[in-house]
Amino acid sequence: MTALSVNVNKFALVRNARGADLPNLIDISNKCLNFGADGITVHPRPDERHAKFSDLEPLKNLLAKFENKEFNIEGYPSDFFVKKVIEVQPNQVTLVPDPPGALTSSFGWDCRENKEFLRDIVSEFKKNKIRVSIFVNPSIKTLENLEVIQTDRVELYTYDYAHNFTENKDTAIKSYIDVSTYLKKEFPKIKLNAGHDLNLENLKFFLENINNVEEVSIGHALICDTFEYGLEKTIKKYLSLTKIK
């Protein structure tokens, strides 16, 4: 079974649009968890157009009221980001290589070029008992130096899979299966997450073919589905796909 972490960034974007507190991010996150989500993900960017750094502590306090629910914070590991994450102590931090003005996460780390940088950042978080995942492209070539970096997990960037799914789903998923197989063989202690553009149409096939995904983080598609089905029914629909044994 795979954990479903709801990325609430777009709820925060709507809130910020009017400079008020509607929808309230804590209330929305609380509903997601009560409706069965396994965790909450946020990605506070430098311009704070989505989740704000001031949201992190209240979200951590909310998660503390639940058993077996996890808080995941994504972001580029600037000095400021690292400081804030260590202060908040989430269950997991997901490191992405986004430049400051990026619209969304659109590529993974090059573990060869960023070997020392990632090694040092990962070590700092692990010293503070925070599980670390790094965002990677679906290519074995990008996974050089994992034995040096020592991350706990990698998150597969699933845009290519989602983008090509309707054209040829078997071709779309091939590189992801290759990476999954490689990790199982070469780095069995490193667990696998996945995220980006996964939705009700393509999620089931992905999880059926890659059966070692620990967690999927889904935001944009889930929020779009909420307009049609409502939040509770939408989360139940996603859980019906992630909880298949």
- The pTM of the full predicted model, rounded to 2 decimals, is 0.94
Could you report the per-residue pLDDT of 99-157, keeping only the tens digit for each? 555 445 556 788 888 999 999 999 999 999 999 999 999 999 888 899 999 999 999 99
Residue 158 pLDDT level (bands cut at 50, 70, 90): very high
Going from N- to C-terminal start, the domains of the chain cover: 3-242
Q: What is the DSSP string of 44-95?
A: --TT-SSS-GGGHHHHHHHHTTSSS-EEEEEE---HHHHHHHHHH--SEEEE
The pLDDT, as a whole number, for residue 100 is 57
Q: Is 166 exposed, middle or buried (0-12, 13-18, 19+ CB in 10 A)?
A: exposed
pLDDT greater than 70 at residue 237: yes
Residues identified as active-site: 43, 74, 196
Could you report the per-residue pLDDT of 191-236, keeping only the tens digit for each? 999 999 999 999 999 999 999 999 999 999 999 999 999 999 999 9
- Fold classified for 3-242: TIM Barrel (3.20.20)
SS3 (DSSP) at 241: helix
